[in-house]
Amino acid sequence: MLKQILSKLPRKLSKPDQVDSAGSDSGNITANSGNGFQCTNVGSALSSKLNVVKRVSSAVFPTSIAAGVEAVEAHLSFKDVSNSQKQNLFVSKLNLCCEVHEFSDPDKQDLKRQALIELVDFVSSGSAKFSEPAIAAVCKMCAVNLFRIFPPKYRSNSAGGEAEDEEPMFDPAWSHLQIVYDLLLRFISYGSLDAKVAKKYVDHSFIVRLLDLFDSEDPRERDCLKTILHRIYGKFMVHRPFIRKAVSNIIYRFVLETERHNGIAELLEIFGSVISGFALPLKEEHKMFLWRALIPLHKPKSIGIYHQPLTYCVVQFIDKDPKLASVVIKGLLKYWPVTNSQKELMFISELEEVLEMTGMVEFQKIMVPLFRRIGCLLNSSHYQVAERAHLLWNNEHILNLISHNRQVIVPLVFSALERNAQNHWNQAVLNLTLNLRRMFYEMDEELAIACQRKLEEEDSRLSMAAEKRRLTWERLENAAALQPFAESEPGFYLH
């Protein structure tokens, strides 16, 4: 009877069970105290006691995810394990690559590099199956290796970003970073990746840290980031509004505060294709991005670095909604440079592209301030600016807009042409001016003659006013010459 009672009592745990239980409990504490991206050494402590197959510590992933996942010794090759163990080996190698080594330890670096190359090959072969533990491990490994704080910029260029005449700076760790970026890109682009599961790890925090990397001075890194962010935008529809808002904040900070950022061009290249996919009619949020982000980007001095993708984004908006053309032109006039001739040339080129897509109604809204500015450009002492402004009339669409509104436009620029014909120093600009004036006479001779007559009358009036001022000053000088100087009275001092 006593033996039957004792047999029902629970037995003591064996030593291996105690080890497993202790590891699981410690993993639960670690997982509950942080998120899936916290690196711990529980799994490595257990792996030193086991040979090939071991229980992965739940400290690497949340306990609910890690349950039942077995990891293979990370130093083994995928060829040396069975198909059933390859996925576990994949996770083990990802955990191994979470260790960050110094440049002074080349052996460990080579070992990690080899593991990364094997991971990329395994994903490229299509054999990988991205379960939730694998997704968490990939995101953690990428976060540990890629997300970092850049050192302060000591560039001489005060405008920020890479100047066009400066040599790019290359990251000495690029040979390692490139493999991690390649793995991240293949992971995001993987056909069977479950976006609903992956979005829990490729979350807002992950995306913000990824966007911070666009300030890298290495153009190779920014090019990889551009491709990856574009794939994330396409894969995770739920994150699209957040990505647009986060990029807008980067642009606001660049325009309004720092004017220093290396990745504005790459971000605009991404948004060029994003804008082309906007549904019609455009949402108010998208229009605000144009008004508050893209148009103010014309202000910084370093616009030459990103002007081409900026122009493409602006043109894409007008292609979606032609009514935005007048808004864009008003923005260009607001930020039009006065003393920077190279910037003026870029603005004229962009203006021509915008005018090519502008309809008659939108053109008439802005034609008066626009051609007042063009009149100043025609008179520019910088021959390239003046020459480029004259060549606007070679565009058939722009010429058609001008000819339909010639009663307003010709009087605005006719005086500029006359001043050029009399005073401009450059012969090429002078020839263009004479050709343009001849075009106005052919377009509407009566209007051109009226403008010529009005200009002569204005010149005559100005000459008469100048002569009147001269005579007035002459009379004052004569009267002052006839008036004797008054002698100073005793005790009177001038201070």
Domain boundaries, given as residue ranges, for the chain? 361-478
**pLDDT number for residue 489:** 54
Residue 72's DSSP bridge partners are: 53
49-63, 207-221, 267-281, 405-419: which range is least confident on average? 49-63
* CA distance readout (Å), 257 to 136, 179, 252, 300, 345: 36, 35, 8, 11, 26
Give me the mean pLDDT over the 388-394 stretch. Answer: 95
The residue among 227 and 90 whose pLDDT is bigger is: 227
Q: How far apart are CA 345 and CA 130, in angstroms?
A: 51
Of the candidates 270, 296, 284, 364, the residue with the CA atom closest to the CA atom of residue 321: 284
Using only the alpha carbons of the chain, give its radius of gyration: 36
Task: State yes or no: pLDDT of 354 exceeds 80.
Answer: yes
Which of 86-90, 261-265, 420-424 is modeled with the greatest confidence? 261-265
pLDDT at 58: 35
- Does the pLDDT at position 262 exceed 90? yes
Of the candidates 90, 107, 113, 100, the residue with the CA atom closest to the CA atom of residue 147: 100
- Report the pLDDT value the prediction gives residue 458, as an integer from 0 to 100: 85
Task: Compute the distance between CA of residue 483 and CA of residue 494 in angstroms, rounded to an integer.
Answer: 20
Rounded-to-integer distance, Cα 151 and Cα 216, Å:
10
- The position carrying tokens 């900070």 is 253
Rounded CA separation 128/87 (Å): 7
Q: How far apart are the first and last CA of the chain?
A: 129
**In this structure, which amino acid lies at residue 90?**
F
**Residue position matching structure tokens 């000088």:** 477
329 token code pair? 């032109």
**Alpha carbons 249 and 103: distance in angstroms, whole number:** 35
Three-class DSSP category at 292? helix
Cis peptide before 281 (omega within 30 of 0): yes
Residue 285 pLDDT level (bands cut at 50, 70, 90): very high
**CA–CA separation, 314 and 353 (whole Å):** 10
CA distances from 315 to 71, 212, 275, 353 (A): 53, 27, 10, 7
172 confidence band (pLDDT: 50, 70, 90):
confident
Q: Is the pLDDT of residue 158 over 90?
A: no
| Distance separating alpha carbons of residues 433 and 428, to the nearest angstrom | 9
Q: From CA 293, how far away is CA 314, in angstroms rounded?
A: 11
Looking at 97-101, 184-188, 266-270, which range is the least confident one?
A: 97-101
Residue 65's pLDDT band, with cuts at 50, 70 and 90, is: very low
Q: What is the mean pLDDT of residues 417-435?
A: 92
pLDDT of residue 481: 85
Angle of CA points 243, 245, 246, to nearest 5°: 65
